[in-house]
């Protein structure tokens, strides 16, 4: 072997090592389908009862969401909720931040919110214990 060929072996080796590219780390699929109503804890979910959301349009063609909810235990529950509205393609339009609500023990109540954009076609509401 000539000296030129011997010098090419390390160069070829380095090129081969340089071509080894690690695959990117990709996100894993969520096995759970998102729903319209979420709770921050199992305890809160177990202490409340929610009914089927009612969606209507008001005279301005804005989406109005009414969620029947109550404390299902023998004491008041202090919660916060936030609502996110989505357009027909599922793209979030906005959310309003967190609002306080006291659920009176075993007393039916409701959360009523309306969108401020006519594009709103769906919603998601999140409940958590008051901080």
Domains and CATH numbers, the chain: 37-129 (2.60.40.3230)
Give the CA dihedral 70, 75, 76, 77, nearest 10 degrees: -80
pLDDT at 73: 96
Asked whether the whole model's pTM tops 0.75, one would answer yes
With 70 as the cut, is the pLDDT of residue 19 above it?
no
Question: What does each C-alpha distance from 84 to 3, 10, 112, 124 come to in angstroms?
Answer: 70, 59, 13, 5
Instruction: Compute how many other C-beta atoms are within 10 angstroms of the C-beta atom of residue 16.
Output: 9
3-state secondary structure of 6: helix
Per-residue pLDDT tens digits for 23-63: 999 988 888 888 999 999 999 999 999 999 999 999 999 99
Return the higher-pLDDT residue of 18 and 91.
Answer: 91
SS3 19: helix
């Amino acid at each position: 072997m000539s000296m030129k060929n011997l010098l090419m072996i390390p160069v070829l080796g380095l090129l081969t090592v340089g071509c080894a590219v690690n695959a990117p780390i990709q996100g894993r699929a969520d096995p759970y389908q998102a729903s319209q109503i979420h709770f921050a804890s199992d305890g809160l979910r177990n202490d409340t009862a929610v009914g089927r959301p009612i969606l209507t349009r008001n005279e301005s063609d804005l989406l109005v969401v009414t969620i029947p909810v109550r404390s299902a235990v023998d004491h008041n529950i202090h919660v916060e909720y936030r609502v996110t509205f989505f357009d027909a393609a599922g793209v979030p339009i906005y959310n309003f931040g967190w609002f306080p609500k006291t659920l009176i023990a075993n007393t039916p109540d409701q959360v009523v919110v309306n969108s401020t954009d006519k594009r709103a076609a769906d919603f998601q509401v999140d409940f958590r214990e008051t901080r």
